[in-house]
Amino acid sequence: MIAQLVLKFCFVLFLTKSVAASPAFHASDFAATVQAAPANIINIPPRQPPVRSAVLATRNDIELLAEGTDSAATQQLDDATNQLTKRGKYSKGTCWIHLWESLACGPGDRHELYARLNLKDNRGKKIAHPKNGANGGKGRRIDQKFYEVRSELPYVLLIQGHDKDDYVQFEYGGHSWTTNTKGKSGQKHPYCNTGAYDPKPYHGRCHFSPETRVRQMDCYFPC
């Protein structure tokens, strides 16, 4: 009898300890899970805003210079108004252009300007082969748009005639000058020596004397 009572007491004591221990175990388990869960959320990388340089590059459709770009050199390239051409062999220094400008009479007594030319490098070597025989030997038309002279030089030489103000404009690389630009041998800037028309033009010449007038000029520029 006493043995049975002791056995029952031990069984009840075992059940009491098991029930008491079980909630503590689950509570600690839950606490560990709660602490571990935020770690996974924190490790997710946040969404980054657009890179500032990308926004600047597209704002107002303005092209910005890349970091490390030489802005001065870029500006010089932007200021050059003519094109690059296939570079040939030529002597660098001062190039010389001899030009025959023809003042002709077109339909309705309108003036037309044409040009024939020779282009030589610093040593006097001919470095261009323009179509001087075009338009009945007058050369290329120069008063409607720029006449593009391609040669052994790295840039295209541009020529345009202006009848109203009586001058011819030249552009090469970063240089721009006219037949009115004066100078002398040895200087580093472009200049021209320009002769007079023959025969001498006068007002109403196309109506009374429509023959073609020609004047010659020598122009020098760094190349």
- The one-letter amino acid at 196: A
Res. 50 pLDDT band, cuts 50 70 90: very low
User: Which residue from 91, 96, 154, 97 is spatially nearest to 123, judged by alpha carbons?
Assistant: 91
| pLDDT at residue 9 is higher than 70 | no
Comparison of pLDDT for 214 and 25, the residue scoring more? 214
Kindly state the average pLDDT of the residues 11-34.
44
Query: Which are the contacts of 170, defined by CB distance < 8 A and separation ≥ 6?
Result: 97, 157, 158, 159, 176, 177, 178, 190, 192, 219, 221
Of residues 123, 115, 177, the one with CA closest to residue 148 = 115
For the chain, the structural domain boundaries read 94-222
Dist. CA 184–CA 52, nearest whole Å: 53
Reply yes or no on whether the pLDDT at 34 is more than 50: no
Question: Which pLDDT value is given to residue 217?
Answer: 98
The structure tokens 């090469």 sit at 172
Under DSSP, is residue 57 helix (H, G, I), strand (E, B) or coil?
helix
According to DSSP, the β-strands at 191-194 and 175-178 are unpaired
pTM for the whole thing?
0.61
* Between 122 and 67, the higher pLDDT residue: 122
